[in-house]
A and B are shown apart, each in its own frame.
Chain A
Amino acid sequence: MRPDRTPLTLLLIGAAILAVGPFAPQWTLFLLTVALAKGLVVLGLMMLLRCGLVSFGQALYYCLGAYAAGMLGRLYEVSGVFTLMLAGMATSAFVAFVLGFLLARYRSIFFGLLSLAISMILYGLLVKTEALGSSDGFNVLPSTLFGWRPADEWVRYSVLAVAAGVAVIAALAVHRYLGTPLGRLAPAIKDNEIRVEYMGASARQAVHVKYVIAAALAGLGGALAATTVGHIDPEMAYWTTSGEFIFITILAGTGSVIAPFLGALIFGIIQTVAFDISPNTWQMVLGASLLAVIVFLPRGLWSLFRRRKAA
């Protein structure tokens, strides 16, 4: 058995981002930060996908996390970036804990569609709420780091540094979790749930736990996206947003906890390049790239990085 290189790789990538950041052009910092935020959501989706579950409604938790962070600033003028992220995480995790009692009983397409319905209800509620700007949403206060606000030209780098730190910690935690007995249950649940039950483990409970973790990650990503982008709106809960997350999950592959972040980054690059080179037909470019990945890299982009194992 080879030694587990993932934690070291993660730390190295994190360090590399911190080291190169000050010299990279500003717009790439933003692109990277958004990719890290989305990557957190995808990390949760990847965990669910490992037990064969696909949520078409993960945008629910992304949006909840973003609104939790945004409301804290709007109502109580809280701007501490870690407080906001904790709030986003906690809100999403709590809602997922409650909804999990219902959703953990569902499998395959029905799990996906029920989560879709719930996220669309949140979308409808937010659009109805004129006090929160309805479909236009509202601006999020610039965040601070323990009360300290970096100088203008360092804002992007600071946000990126926080995002990179959070992403590395989250990825390490998930990596650890996947190695625990409960985490290792995932492929078994995917393969055959009844065997899991016969072994004495509860599939429903395992799914419930994973569902809450995935939601917490999505809430964290949402809060991070809110402070990065500076504006939130109900579109964050719309089904096309969920679709984008699944798109990235498949693009990335489930091979490693690094894959979601890589997938999100590549997705961001494809999207912005498509916008740049063909403003009139960027959807076609996006669709064609997804198709190409599925056809040529069935295990996702991550398979490019994985050495073929000896038989």
Chain B
Amino acid sequence: MDQLVAVLIDGIIYSAWLFVAAVGLTLIYGVMKIVNVTHGSFYALGAYAAASITGWALAQGMPPSLSYPVLLGSALLVTLVVAPLIERGILRFMYVKDEVVILLITYALFLILEDAIKLVWGVNPYFIAEPYGLLGSFDVMDLTYPYYNLILVGVAIVCGVGLFWMLGHTRAGKLLVAVIHDTEVSRAMGINVERMYLFTFTFGSLLAAIGGAFTAPTVSVVPGLGIEVIVLSFAVVVIGGLGSLPGAALGAVMVGLVRSATIHYLPQVELFVIYLVMAMVLAFRPRGLFSIAEARKI
């Protein structure tokens, strides 16, 4: 019983992290049909910006309680600088190309950004552990959890609900839904698809950066941080169905709980359990759990 509770809590914390890290990927795929490898770079950029800016501010005597908005602000700042640059400077000339070729372009950009991050921040790790311990911790059974973990869950819920609300209830969101369903008709109806793409790419990347920024206090920010996130978030998004928002949420919860249960009951298979889940889901639901049916074009 005790262990089951621990499995649930650990699973939910991990799911929240996965969801924030992965949801931007599904949004960008839904709108732009791009499998965006630079997603991992933005996660890393968010983490680096958050760790260095918050660390600097704390050193200047900023009260630690302000570090939470600063984490968010750092993610925003770095994304607003880099994402539009990539979308306007490179990606927009590439939309005519094959899905796979665009994927490779983002892979090339990922390689470049990986070294660019190294040139800016060096190879030594950055830490900002203050926000993690600041809020104290709570006990469940005989296990202790810092409250900060709840912030992560909160960020995930805000991101998910906010995105859902935006897509369904705002003008911009409704226009986006139109673009998701049919780009050509949307363009014909007078929607500025170009601007939508810029917005989506920036916003999706921002979500990755937020994921990185709020993870930064719990980890050491080091080179290669983004690589792990790429394949993991692909797995989550694919399980849920590429382009589907509820799918990403369900995928994150599934992977989170399965991984947590494995660690508690069967640690030997943790290494590939996520890919096992992914292969099983795809074997029975070839397009993931929530997939949009596609018309057969004759």
Contact = CB atoms under 8 A, between A and B. Distances in A.
The reply, when asked whether chain A contacts chain B directly with Cβ atoms under 8 A, is yes
B64 to A, nearest CB: 35
A125 interface: yes
Interface in A78-109: 102, 105-106, 108-109
A247 B104 contact: yes
A250 B282 contact: no
B104 to A, nearest CB: 5
A118 B296 CA distance: 28
A121 B112 contact: no
B105 interface: yes
A192 interface: yes
B286 A291 contact: no
Given A109-B99, A117-B235, A280 B282 contact: no
B272 A124 contact: yes
Contact of B110 (A102, A110, A194, A287): A287
Contact of B282 (A117, A247, A291, A294): A117
B111 A106 contact: no
Contacts of A108: 99
A113 B104 contact: no
A120 B231 contact: yes
A190 to B, nearest CB: 10
A230 interface: no
A179 B298 CA distance: 26
Given A117-B279, A288-B108, A291-B105, A106 B286 contact: yes
Nearest to A111: B286
A141 to B, nearest CB: 29
A212 to B, nearest CB: 19
* Interface size range of chain B in the complex: 35 or more
Contacts of B283: 102, 114
A61 interface: no
Interface string B34-63: 010000000000000000000000000000
Contact of A284 (B35, B111, B235, B297): B111
B104 A294 contact: yes
A195 to B, nearest CB: 7
Contacts of A290: 104, 107-108, 111
B31 to A, nearest CB: 15
A298 B111 contact: no
A298 B102 CA distance: 12
Contact of A120 (B35, B119, B272): B272
Interface of B: 35, 90, 93-94, 97, 99-101, 104-105, 107-112, 114-116, 118-119, 231, 234-235, 238, 242, 268, 271-272, 275-276, 278-279, 282-283, 286-287, 296-298
Given A118-B275, A291-B109, 9 more contacts: A114-B279, A116-B234, A117-B275, A128-B271, A194-B297, A250-B101, A284-B116, A287-B110, A294-B94
15 contacts: A102-B283, A108-B99, A110-B282, A117-B275, A120-B272, A121-B276, A123-B272, A128-B271, A194-B298, A283-B114, A284-B116, A286-B111, A287-B109, A290-B108, A291-B105
